[in-house]
Amino acid sequence: MSRRAVVPLLSLGLDPAAEQPLFRQLYGQLREAILAGRLGGGQRLPSSRLLAGELGCSRNTVLGALDQLLAEGYLEGRRGSGTYVSSVLPDELLTARRGPAAPADRRPAPQLGARGRRLAALSRPGERSRGGRGTAFVPGLPDLAAFPFDVWGRLLGRFWRHPPARLARHGDCAGDPALRAAIADYLRTVRALAVEPEQVFVTSGAQQGVDLAARLLLDAGDRVWLEDPGYVGLRGPLLAAGATPVPLAVDGEGLCVADGRAADRRDGAAARMAVVSPSHQYPLGVVMSLARRLELLGWAREAGAWILEDDYDSEFRYAGRPLAALQGLDAGGGRVVYLGSFSKVLFPSLRIGYLVVPPGLVEPFRAARAALEDHPAATAQPALAAFIAEGHFAAHVRRMRALYQARQQALLAAAGRQLEGLLLLRPDEAGMHLVADLTPALAARLTDLEASERAAAAGLVAPPLSAYRFAEGARVGAPSRQGLLLGYAAVPEGEMERAVAGLARALR
């Protein structure tokens, strides 16, 4: 190969308009040529002057690229005799890098772990709109047009244009002290929790709270009582922690504790934890009765088990007043870890939630948090603390409560006009969605999964209730309750009629 021919042969070529500096372009092309074997070990490179001339660039550009390749060991310089491709590059690597031409030399990439394969295979109900535009009937989606982003953007700017040094440095592993104090105040006042700010851990949402609690409180193989149907987001963290799920039915008073005791006896081992949403069971909306709450706490005390209380949308209650949280009933018992999130009350991409842990778990949770994730991201925390402390949060919740109550009524009214014979809806005193049962007539034609797919084809999100069952899609034994989740919080009243009409058409 003539030295002059090396440039076209290796298809070297520089683009002055590209973002990458010229020397870096040349470096990359030469390195690629060496790794792919087009420039072989021991081969001599043309002089920098010659290369510069061929490439139409300055000699400094060429020297910059060659210096880098020399420093990295791809090239060797012999004083007075030019620059050569290194012979110490292991040949097998060069061969392996020839690409598709030599596939026999390629070993397959390593495999995921067994845990990883199971994690990767978890599916979630289609709760989010696919196109990303429509809001009917996405469960748990708040009304984003109603959120005071002007205030929010102003608060962010206020804290970050001239942050105090403590804000920019490493933070407390449990979160911004101002935010934890604001959360503790709120929970004490509104939810009757027994909580001091140091018991509050800021998380990226309920899921991360479950993830932290599961890894700290459970060992592989430990049994965990779960509501069935229930919040699907629990499953990843519990699976990753190696827990054994014990799905239990939910009746009109909440999780069936008696079924759990029976399952424990059958399996010869008490569960180590129960995960419940007593304020407003997800997705059914049942409120756990006081008697059932006390029964659950009594079981936990006997069994030495933990209770994870997910209080995910306790803010939106339209009638009556919420029952006291399990955490408050257990005060002093040290058995309840309480989970909350701002994603549904404010906006989903905020990703701020919190854990309230018993006093005895504060130090272990601090150590584990620091060991696993250092501390939560600071950007939104001071703004959220001010949003709560300055009253914007309470005002927003009040406004949204009135708005969502009106939307639930609009959904019920439209359903009464349009969905007769298809879906059965009942009012709910709380929440952001209703469970619409398939009528026997519709259930004779469609499963809820099929009904949900028809809605999706019409641009409507209406996840099937069966997707929240623990054994996803399984319909062995008694036929499972067939229904659709209809989120109404993000659907303006004026659009409700049209959206419900679309659903009726899709199901007819």
- Within 132-151, the residues that bind its own copies by CB under 8 A are 132, 141, 144, 147, 149-150
d(CA 388, CA 2): 74
Q: Residues 39, 52, 368, 386: which binds its own copies (CB under 8 A)?
A: 368
Interacting positions 168-187 with its own copies (CB under 8 A): 168-171, 185
Interface of this chain with its own copies, residues 420 to 439, rule: CB under 8 A: none
DSSP 8-state symbol, 377 = -
- Looking at 195, 256, 380, 451, which residue binds its own copies (CB under 8 A)? 380
How many C-beta neighbours within 10 Å does residue 128 have? 14
Among 101, 114, 441, 457, binds its own copies (CB under 8 A): 114
Complex with its own copies: residue 59 or 188, whichever CB lies closer: 188
Name the residue among 319, 279, 274 with its Cα closest to residue 300.
274
Q: Cβ 48 to its own copies, closest distance in Å? A: 17
- Three-class DSSP category at 15: coil
Residues within window 45-104 making contact with its own copies, judged by CB under 8 A: 67-68, 71-74, 88-90, 92-93, 96-97, 99
- What sign for the dihedral angle of Cα 49, 54, 60, 62? negative
User: Binders of its own copies among 454-483, rule CB under 8 A?
Assistant: none
* Residues 205-234: x where in contact with its own copies by CB under 8 A, - otherwise, as a string: x-xx--x---xxxxxx-x----------x-
Q: According to the binding rule CB under 8 A, does residue 403 interact with its own copies?
A: no
Helix (H, G, I), strand (E, B) or coil at 224: strand
Of the candidates 180, 335, 407, 469, which one interacts with its own copies according to CB under 8 A? 335
- Specify the stretch interacting with its own copies by CB under 8 A; choose among 5-13, 329-337, 474-482, 498-506: 329-337
Dist CA 124 CA 136 (whole Å):
18
CA distances from 196 to 339, 392, 425 (A): 15, 22, 41
Contact status: 401 vs its own copies (CB under 8 A): no
CB 202, CB 176: distance < 8 Å? yes
Q: Rounded to the nearest 5 degrees, what angle is found at the Cα of 78, between the Cα atoms of 75 and 81? A: 115
Shortest distance (Å) from residue 345 CB to its own copies: 13
Q: How far is the CB of 215 from its own copies (least distance, A)?
A: 5
First to last CA, the chain: 74
Size of the site for its own copies (CB under 8 A): 133
Q: What is the DSSP letter of 129?
A: -
**Contact (Cβ atoms closer than 8 angstroms) between residue 210 and residue 233:** yes
| List 110, 268, 477, 494, residue binding its own copies (CB under 8 A) | 110
Q: Tell which one of 78, 79, 107, 266 touches its own copies (CB under 8 A).
A: 107
Kindly state whether residue 153 participates in binding its own copies, applying the rule CB under 8 A. yes
Residue list 279-318, contact with its own copies (CB under 8 A): 289-291, 294-295, 297-298, 300-302, 304-306
Q: What is the 3-state secondary structure (H, E, C) of 63-99?
A: HHHHHHHHHHCCEEEECCCEEEECCCCCHHHHHHCCH
Q: Out of 24, 38, 401, 481, point to the residue binding its own copies (CB under 8 A).
A: 24
Q: How far apart are the C-alpha atoms of 295 and 55, rounded to whole Å?
A: 81
- Between residues 80 and 108, which has the closer beta carbon with respect to its own copies? 108
- Between residues 305 and 460, which has the closer beta carbon with respect to its own copies? 305
